[in-house]
Amino acid sequence: MTSESPNALYFASLRRLFERTPALSFVKQTLEELAPGQARLALEPDDRYNNGAGCIHGGIIATVLDGVGWFACATRSEGYWLVTAEFKVNFLEVASHERVIATGELLKKGSELFHARMDARTEGGRHVASALATYTLLPRKFRP
């Protein structure tokens, strides 16, 4: 019999899911924190993420924001898959050659829709982007 709480076991399964995500081979992120309704990811600097002006491409930042929002919601999805239904991002500053920390927070959990707010900041504290997303709950569970 295990001494871990069901919540700890579930969060461990979310971490395994994160580590097995194929997109991470293209956009390397680190899952730094999971808590009920919250998540934090870090994007390490990599010149391959830059646009022509030498800053991290907005699409890379958006990918990290979508991911952190998904994981914040997944902490409360009871193992059911979520898919992004709507996503809006506002880019506020540029980031280049420094870590970007993205945080996600579940705003509202409905019976089929989850709403989240996400922010991305450089490690130095500059606010890079803010986003809002809606995720739809699917009728199937992921495998731990």
pLDDT per 10-residue tile (average), the chain, 144 residues: 67 92 88 97 94 94 97 96 97 95 98 98 97 97 75
| Separation of alpha carbons 138 and 126, rounded Å | 36
Do the domain assignments include residue 37?
yes
Do the domain assignments include residue 58?
yes
Do the domain assignments include residue 93?
yes
Q: Domain holding 109: CATH number?
A: 3.10.129.10
Do the domain assignments include residue 89?
yes
The pLDDT assigned to 77 comes to 95
The pLDDT assigned to 33 comes to 96
Do the domain assignments include residue 24?
yes
Do the domain assignments include residue 90?
yes
What amino acid is encoded at 76 in this protein? R
The pLDDT tens digits for 66-84 are 999 999 999 999 999 999 9
Taking the CA of residue 4 as centre, how many other CA atoms within 13 Å lie in the half-sphere pointing to its CB?
Answer: 8
Do the domain assignments include residue 1?
no
The pLDDT assigned to 6 comes to 63
The pLDDT assigned to 67 comes to 96
Q: Take residue 11 and report the two structure tokens written for it.
A: 């969060």
The pLDDT tens digits for 114-131 are 999 999 999 999 999 999
Domain enclosing residue 134, as ranges: 6-141
- In total, how many domains does the chain have? 1
Do the domain assignments include residue 127?
yes
